[in-house]
Amino acid sequence: MDGFSDQPFRTICRQFGSAISYTEFINTTDVLQKHPYILKRIAFQETERPVGFQIYGNSTDEIIKAAEILDDYSPDFFDLNLGCSERHVASRGAGSGLLRFPEKIREIMTALVTHFHIPITAKFRIGWDKTSLNYIEIAKILEDSGASMIAVHGRTRDQRWREPALWQPIEAVKNAVSIPVIGNGDVRTIEDINEMFEQTGCDGIMIGRAAIGNPWIFSRINKNELSQTEILEMISKHWKNVEDFYGREKALVLFRKHLKSYLSTPQFADLELKQLISAADPIIALGIENQPS
């Protein structure tokens, strides 16, 4: 959810019933180098609590030092990212790249649990590829190292999002450990929520891409049953949040992806894009027409 789960978006999701907020993932190297984007990434409202700072890196010492800095901003927990499949992350042994080094995961998780008083959680994929499905091993390592909760995404790193997520491994992890297990992957509808709970026995469900343009999913409201007016009102609300947080110039660039998702629904199928944007908000329309595609 890098580039999507910022404070404006998470705040709306919380208002619709999301139980926990995770920040966009945070590069521990950027924290240590005091990259200016960090403060926006870790910004959250008190109403979002519990909120976790999602961190990634491949050096135990660097992760601890970065987390010590971030701890001053009072997150409720740290979440270790073991799931990012992007090449620039995984190829350097961070994110899902760490799945190839289970003992390194043990070292990092043990260090985090030892150094901090707040819970430490982790999200991971079911393996690097189909020949190395080590999700049970990783789950047990995380539990043995003191993780308070784990989230399992039902794809390998190599699959990225190209193939359907597998839910059976989530069930297997749930049966293998005693800490809470969160299921993730291909939960797009209210029916999917019910089916994942039933099929896996997981303790909670993590919804990511399906919430983009559809925060109603957290209230188990079918977006396709909403009126145009209800959707347009939400667009205006979200736009205002983004504009207030980033300023209008940057907001106009960042909001394009949200706008497209909000309007990708049968209620607007017969309208041209410019009509849709103008209906949503004249300011958005003016700004986006002047932005490069």
Q: Which domains are present in the chain?
A: 7-221 (3.20.20.70), 224-289 (no CATH)
In the predicted structure, residue 286 carries a pLDDT above the cut 50: no
- CA 136/CA 10 separation, integer angstroms: 31
- CA 53/CA 79 separation, integer angstroms: 6
Q: Please list the residues that pair with 44 across neighbouring strands.
A: none
- CA 166/CA 171 separation, integer angstroms: 10
Which of these ranges, 81-90, 97-106, 208-217, 272-281, has the smallest mean pLDDT? 272-281
Give the distance from CA 102 to its chain's centroid. 23
- pLDDT for residue 266: 86
Which of these ranges, 133-147, 259-273, 278-292, has the smallest mean pLDDT? 278-292
The secondary structure of the chain in percent helix, strand, coil, rounded to multiples of 5, reads: 50, 10, 35
Task: Summarize the confidence of residues 116-144 as an average pLDDT.
Answer: 97
Which of these ranges, 13-17, 51-55, 229-233, has the smallest mean pLDDT? 229-233
> Which of 204-218, 241-255, 271-285 has maximum average pLDDT?
204-218
Residue 244 contacts by C-beta under 8 Å, 6 or more apart in sequence? 8
* 290 vs 60 pLDDT, higher one: 60
Which of these ranges, 104-108, 184-188, 236-240, 280-284, has the smallest mean pLDDT? 280-284
Which of these ranges, 12-21, 165-174, 257-266, has the smallest mean pLDDT? 257-266
| Pairing of β 21-22 and β 181-184 | unpaired
Residue 170 contacts by C-beta under 8 Å, 6 or more apart in sequence? 152, 154, 181, 183, 184, 185, 196, 200, 202
**Mean pLDDT, the chain, as a whole number?**
91
* 284 vs 163 pLDDT, higher one: 163
Asked if 216 and 223 touch (Cβ cutoff 8 Å), the reply is yes
* Angle of CA points 173, 178, 142, to nearest 5°: 65
- pLDDT for residue 288: 47
Task: Summarize the confidence of residues 155-163 as an average pLDDT.
Answer: 87
- pLDDT for residue 13: 96
Told to judge if 13 belongs to the known catalytic residues of this protein, a careful annotator would answer no
Asked if 173 and 152 touch (Cβ cutoff 8 Å), the reply is yes
Asked if 173 and 135 touch (Cβ cutoff 8 Å), the reply is yes
**What is the number of other CB atoms lying within 10 angstroms of the CB of residue 187?**
25
Distances, alpha carbon 260 to alpha carbons 155, 230, 274, in Å: 26, 16, 11
Residue 291 banded pLDDT, cuts 50, 70, 90: very low
Distances, alpha carbon 283 to alpha carbons 79, 151, 275, in Å: 37, 39, 13
- pLDDT for residue 283: 53
Write down the catalytic residue from 31, 70, 80, 84: 84
In the predicted structure, residue 108 carries a pLDDT above the cut 60: yes
Burial class (CB in 10 A: 0-12, 13-18, 19+), 59: middle
Strands (DSSP E) along 21-132, which ranges?
Answer: 21-22, 26-27, 51-56, 77-82, 120-125
Q: What percent of the chain has pLDDT over 90?
A: 78
- pLDDT for residue 42: 96
* Angle of CA points 113, 140, 209, to nearest 5°: 80
- pLDDT for residue 232: 87
- pLDDT for residue 277: 58
- pLDDT for residue 104: 97
Burial class (CB in 10 A: 0-12, 13-18, 19+), 291: exposed
Residue 222 contacts by C-beta under 8 Å, 6 or more apart in sequence? 189, 190, 216
- pLDDT for residue 284: 56
